Amino acid sequence: MATSASADLLPAEWRARDAGRTAFGDGWRPVRRAMAPGRIELLGNHLDYNGGPVLAAAIDRAVVVLATNAEADAVRVVAADAAEDQPAVSTIDVRSLADWRLEDRAAGTFDYVRGVVAAILARPLLRLRPADIAFAGDVPIGFGVSSSAALCVGLGLALTEPVPEPRELVLLAQEAEHRVGAPVGTMDQSASVAGGVIRFDGATLAVERLTPDLGDLVFAVADSGVKRSLSTSSYPTRVTESKRALGIAREILGAELPSLAAISLEQLAVLTGLDFDVMPAHLIGRVRHVVTETERVRQGVEALRAADWSRFGRLMIESGRSSATDYAISHPRVEDLVGEALAVGGVLGARMMGGGEGGTALVLLPRQRVPALEEALRAGYYSRHGMTARDDLIYICAFADGARVETIG
């Protein structure tokens, strides 16, 4: 994570600067700039909190947080991209957030700030910096590229002293999301912090950096138009189901299983043969997805290192099908979008991505076939769902550097 000044200004930073000056006055001059990228998940859907490996990559879409120092025991915040029903400025009383958790409602934009502040206060080795902050981003909300993780990582960098070490920053950002009601793992935050392409180990939180050669291929993200929120989706239910399935597996197998991802294919065969009154069918499906997805990630690393992208594409397709059936976390419209993408000539793989129940499809294809993909989807899926007036339906991902905080003048 860099700490030196940079002359590069992202469009999101201009929006954040304008919002800050409007909210706090023309004299507002930020002294720190934090940037945290979103991510794409290549393989390993819902494995991080199940102790499994994930292939992920930081992308060139980011949240930018600008901050000034403040004397008061408060954080004043403005979000340049907040919904119209959000207040222009929220003043967060630091003293009231020591044990704060959101309950009984969906999280709003500023609740993530409260979650980060509360997580900082819970860490005796970190000091919260009272500040007036403004933030903006081009990581689309509800798009499946971890806008919430990027925001929490960026806020964690902007509001803490000293700057947290990467692992501590990941855990801080995860805790912030837990405090707003999203029981996420640490893959999203790890990808944002590390940058580039990584193999993330959900059991140890270790990050292995990879350097794939895509050649003329690209990963494209296609919007389904179905917005999603982790805290109000089935994501928390899947976390609970996974814990229940692990408890049953430990009883049946008589093994010291640390996680579902530690179950072998042979042990899976034993569990699959159980009566449904021992392990219900839907829980067997959850276990089957985790175990087979863990194997797909292992094979995916081999394919990535060998630049065998045809094999990688097939693994993506298998991952998506398992996510939709065994883990039941996809959405009919997303599966419709995936099906149309796979019918386009040259496409090597496509799958639902992220928490599920909306968001995006991830597509692997030659760069020169991107216009054909967009033409086919606009004529089909996007036409059927009244989305053709939009020009931001498909985004070509470029791998990006990890989160950083900089001193600015």
Q: What is the pLDDT of residues 236-249, one digit of tens each?
A: 899 999 999 999 99
Q: Are residues 163 and 234 in the same domain?
A: no
The answer to whether residue 3 is domain-embedded is no
Domain-located, residue 4: no
Whether 357 and 340 share a structural domain? yes
The tokens describing 315, both together, are: 């693994």
pTM of the shown model: 0.89
pLDDT digits (tens, 9 = 90+) for 346-355: 999 999 987 7
Together in a domain, 39 and 168: yes
Encode pLDDT of 126-162 as tens digits.
999 999 999 998 875 555 556 889 999 999 999 999 9
- Does residue 373 fall inside a structural domain? yes
Are 226 and 337 a contacting pair, CB within 8 Å?
no
User: Are 246 and 390 within one domain?
Assistant: yes
Q: Within this chain, do residues 45 and 111 fall inside the same structural domain, yes or no?
A: yes
Residue 343, Cβ density class (10 Å: 0-12 exposed, 13-18 middle, ≥19 buried): exposed
Instruction: For residues 204 and 224, state if they share a domain.
Output: no
- The DSSP element (H or E) to which 136 belongs, if any, is strand 131-137
Query: Strands 131-137, 74-79: parallel, antiparallel or unpaired by DSSP?
Result: parallel
170 and 281 within one domain? no
Is-contact 383 374, C-beta < 8 A? no
Please name the residue ranges forming H helices in 87-165. Answer: 109-121, 147-159
| Residues 248 and 205 reside in one and the same domain | no
Looking at 120-124, 143-147, 186-190, 245-249, which range is the least confident one?
143-147
| Full domain range(s) for residue 109 | 11-210+400-407
Q: What pLDDT score does 87 carry?
A: 53
The mean of the pLDDT values for the chain is 91
Q: Residue 316's domain is classified under what CATH number?
A: 3.30.70.890
Tell me whether residue 1 is in a domain: no
In this structure, the answer to whether residues 230 and 131 fall within a common structural domain is: no
| Counted domains in the chain | 2
Q: Are residues 163 and 236 in the same domain?
A: no
Domain match, 182 and 265 both: no
Same-domain check for residues 244 and 309: yes
What pLDDT does residue 5 have?
39
- Could you list the active site residues? 188
